[in-house]
Amino acid sequence: MSPLLDVRGLTVTYKTSGGDIPAVRGVDLSVAPGEKVGIAGESGCGKSTLALALLRLLPANAALGGEILFDGDDVLKMSFGQLRAVRWAGASVVFQGAMHALNPVRRVEEQIAEPILVHGGDRRTARVKAAELLDDVGLGAGKGRAYPHELSGGQKQRVMIAMALACTPKLIVADEPTTALDVMIQAQILRLIGGLVADRGISLLMISHDLSVLAGTCDRLAVMYAGRVVEQGPAGEVFTDGKHPYSRALAAAFPRIGDDDARRNPQGLPGDPPDPADLPTGCAFHPRCPVAVPICPDVDPQLWSAAPGRDAACVHVKEN
Ligand code: ATP
Ligand code: MG
């Protein structure tokens, strides 16, 4: 089956007065129809930059290279008209902190109906659909009359999910949809998104720094470090048996939800992520890596095959 989303050699460089910041450095990533793919990695590794690039929502100082094929068409070459058709109807994004983007003076049912109206639906259809969506996200149609300030953080997040589903897109990109919420609500919301997209056959690209929540929701995981994918494979395997030392460190830092003892005492990741404007030579992870060997500062690791369907950018994988 050809992928719905096929990202090839994507680079994003932010041009700043202080110099170039290479935020995404050659990412290949695909999402099949109906597939749920998670992207994990620490703050600053380029997750949001990648998500925003997919729909060309980056600020003007971002220079892009590579290809982003959505349903076979290159997003980077689309006219503005084509791009508008893709946004919401083809792919919709639940942004980081998006719940603060709700309009404070409009009832939530009107805001859920809005994308349907914008894409040519009539008022009656939009109203009926908004009520159904409120039900689907577990809010109940009664909450449709509410204004955002009358809802909790978790409820507002559910409204955002209803909006993202309103035009039944082929792909939903959810960028840390739950950062501000407590961990139990996070788990509930992520399960909700996972269930809603599965019921509708919608593909999902879910971004989080918490590998364990992604492992519970997604089919496949890509782990990012310093602007690159350093490992990818089936979600459960990447979480429990990472082939890249960074994946293992990330899994230890975010133990499985439900494993309360482990979550109370997570193993912190050693050191800090590198400054993208001043990356270590060779493998960007080598200064923090517990299994680094003398060649690591000199070898630029590629995504080598670690097992069928599994790749990791680590010299130890290449040696095996
Ligand atoms: P987080 O987990 O904190 O959301 P992230 O993985 O989403 O992090 P990005 O927001 O994609 O990371 O940022 C990647 C890098 O690009 C960071 O070093 C960030 O400082 C830099 N960056 C992001 N936006 C801009 C911008 N508009 N101009 C310059 N640099 C930027
Ligand atoms: Mg981000």
The reported pLDDT for the residue numbered 260 is 63
Report yes or no on 255 lying in a domain.
yes
Report yes or no on 32 lying in a domain.
yes
163 half-sphere exposure, CB direction, 13 A CA radius: 26
* 44 within ligand 1 shell (Cβ under 6 A): yes
Tens of pLDDT along 46-58?
Answer: 999 999 999 999 9
Within 58-181, residue ranges assigned H as helices are 80-86, 108-118, 123-136, 153-165
- Count of other CB atoms within 10 angstroms of residue 106: 12
> Ligand 2 center to residue 44 CA distance, Å?
7
In this structure, are 20 and 36 located in the same domain? Answer: yes
For the record, the structure tokens of 97 come out as: 């902190």
In this structure, are 29 and 86 located in the same domain? Answer: yes
In this structure, are 69 and 204 located in the same domain? Answer: yes
> Ligand 1 center to residue 48 CA distance, Å?
7
Q: Are 286 and 296 in contact (CB under 8 A)?
A: yes
- Predicted ipTM beyond 0.95: yes
CA 221 to CA 211: how far, in whole Å? 9
Tens of pLDDT along 266-281?
Answer: 667 788 999 999 999 9
Q: Using alpha carbons, select from 223, 154, 149 the residue that is nearest to residue 193.
A: 154
Number of structural domains (the chain) is 2
* 209 within ligand 1 shell (Cβ under 6 A): yes
* 61 within ligand 1 shell (Cβ under 6 A): yes
Report yes or no on 289 lying in a domain.
no
pLDDT along the chain (320 residues), means of 10: 93 96 97 97 94 94 98 94 84 76 93 89 93 92 91 89 92 79 76 92 92 90 98 97 96 74 66 93 96 97 95 91
3-state class (DSSP) for residue 14? strand
The reported pLDDT for the residue numbered 254 is 76
In this structure, are 132 and 18 located in the same domain? Answer: no
Secondary structure letter of residue 286 according to DSSP = G
**Domain extent for 155:** 99-166
* 126 within ligand 1 shell (Cβ under 6 A): no
Residue that has been written with the tokens 């949001």 in this structure: 48
Q: Are 29 and 229 in contact (CB under 8 A)?
A: yes
In this structure, are 70 and 179 located in the same domain? Answer: yes
In this structure, are 223 and 85 located in the same domain? Answer: yes
Strand partners, 223: 40, 231
Report yes or no on 299 lying in a domain.
no
Q: Which residue puts its alpha carbon closest to atom 23 of ligand 1? A: 49
Ligand having the closest approach to the CA of 272: 1
> Ligand 2 center to residue 231 CA distance, Å?
19
CA 33 to CA 35: how far, in whole Å? 6
The reported pLDDT for the residue numbered 246 is 96
The reported pLDDT for the residue numbered 204 is 97
Report yes or no on 175 lying in a domain.
yes
For the record, the structure tokens of 209 come out as: 């720094």
In this structure, are 128 and 243 located in the same domain? Answer: no
In this structure, are 143 and 263 located in the same domain? Answer: no
For the record, the structure tokens of 195 come out as: 């269930």
Listed in sequence order, the residues at least 6 apart from 104 whose beta carbon sits closer than 8 Å to its beta carbon are 147, 148, 149
* 49 within ligand 1 shell (Cβ under 6 A): yes
In this structure, are 141 and 202 located in the same domain? Answer: no
Q: Using alpha carbons, select from 286, 319, 283 the residue that is nearest to residue 301.
A: 283
CA 265 to CA 161: how far, in whole Å? 32
The reported pLDDT for the residue numbered 242 is 97
The reported pLDDT for the residue numbered 187 is 76
CA 60 to CA 26: how far, in whole Å? 20
Tell how strand 19-31 and strand 5-16 pair up.
Answer: antiparallel
Ligand 1, closest atom to CA 227?
14
* 232 within ligand 1 shell (Cβ under 6 A): no
